[in-house]
Structure 1
Amino acid sequence: MNKLYLRVKELAAQKHVSLAKVERDLGFSNGIISTWKTGKASQDKINSLADYFNVSTDYLLGRSKDVKDPVAYFRLDTSGLSEDQISSMKSELADYAEYLKHRVRGDK
């Protein structure tokens, strides 16, 4: 079964919405998500789903296992970097996101 279909089904369940509701919310044709069990989705549909569920397209497509992987979310090019460098980048991005969250809230 297609990873995209499985991820969408999982994310919809976590959000407590049906696949039909996701389709209606996004203006997709009725039953389109079920066709992805064996077929492919268009890039615009994948992008819409990523925005709807607030995940990266890499996560939806099974290229990333981490739903909140900042490197995948921002589609950063990591070619030429070692695993340690990528890990460091993820950690620094997560720290920066936390800093921004507190700054926006006005925390000290």
Structure 2
Amino acid sequence: MNFEEKLIAIWSAKRPDIKSGRELERAIGLSNGQISKWRTSNPSQKTMQKIADFFHISVDSLLSGRIESTANQPVSNTDLASEGVFFYEGREISEDTMNFIRETLKRIQK
């Protein structure tokens, strides 16, 4: 399995909301067409770390193409008041559920 195939497997499992390779490249901060170049080569260590950080996995998991347990993965520091799509266990959270979470957090913070 080449690096591109490993990346695609992890992408499919971790971020199915990202629909195209170009969209993934933009989200990670890679240059256009970079992913397809990894059919025959590997990215630099720095780029691997950037990709691993994006998916909240270790570089070892990235290199193996296997995803580690999600139990101890970091939670992103995203403002829940902002617009965006949020996921839990690979499924999109509905706007009604997000509103419930926002209101609950507001009550807890007071």
What TM bracket, shorter-length normalisation? Answer: 0.5 to 0.7
Equivalent position of 2:8 in the other structure: 9
Shift in Å, 1:56: 0.8
Write out aligned runs for 1:1-108 (5 A).
Answer: 1-2=1-2, 4-14=3-13, 15-16=15-16, 17=18, 18-62=20-64, 65-68=66-69
**Equivalent pairs, count:** 69
Structure 2, unmatched stretches of 5+, are 74-110
What TM-score results when the alignment is normalised by the length of structure 1? 0.54
Partners of 2:70 and 2:60 lie apart in 1 by 9
Are 2:22 and 2:32, in contact at CA under 8 Å, matched by a contact in 1?
A: yes
Q: Percent sequence identity over matched residues?
A: 32
Q: Secondary structure at the match of 2:60?
A: helix
Shift in Å, 1:66: 5.0
Shift in Å, 1:47: 0.4
Higher RCO, 1 vs 2 (CA within 8 Å, ≥6 residues apart): 2
Shift in Å, 1:68: 3.0
Structure 1, unmatched stretches of 5+, are 74-108
